[in-house]
Amino acid sequence: MARSKPAARGMGYKQVPGITASTVGPYIPPAQAQGKCQWLRPDMDILVTYLVPYVAGDGLKFKPAVLNGAADALNQCILRGGLKKATSVRDKISDLLTRYQVVQELMGLSGVDYSEALGCNIHGPEAERVWEDLVRAKPTRAPFKNVGWDLYDLVARLHPAKPKG
């Protein structure tokens, strides 16, 4: 039986000293990429930028051709690790959207002041008790106690405007 990953762990990418959202190259040629794929901050920009034109108004189910195209685009810009496959792209999209929904919920909760820089900024015994109740109700909130999520605005570009009614 396959192990399932807990949803919404941390940032969604590996933080590596010297690699930021604005890091460009030197890239590893796809033929020389080795090991397990690594998701770094620049990969998030490439992935979302590639997917935006394919977002439909009825949901976020990307066709295999789009997932393969995204993997190809990512594999042209490898900074570390191995090649990305369509399945890992699909899983990363799901993971990012889960985090996005959690942060969106936190932004809308009364009594919680979420910021991109400080997360929910929980300090003091009363705030700790409230936070423990919030996390007990939904454990995916835990990473955002005192840490924001710098991908929120980026991933928001993937959310189609769904008409209500």
Q: Where are the domains of the chain?
A: 30-108+152-156
Find which of 14-28, 32-46, 54-68 is predicted with most confidence, using mean pLDDT. Answer: 32-46
Residue pLDDT, tens place only, 66-79: 999 999 999 999 99
Instruction: Please tell me the distance from the alpha carbon of residue 152 to that of residue 45, in angstroms, as a whole number.
Output: 12
Structure confidence at residue 11 (pLDDT)? 77
For residue 9, pLDDT beyond 90: no
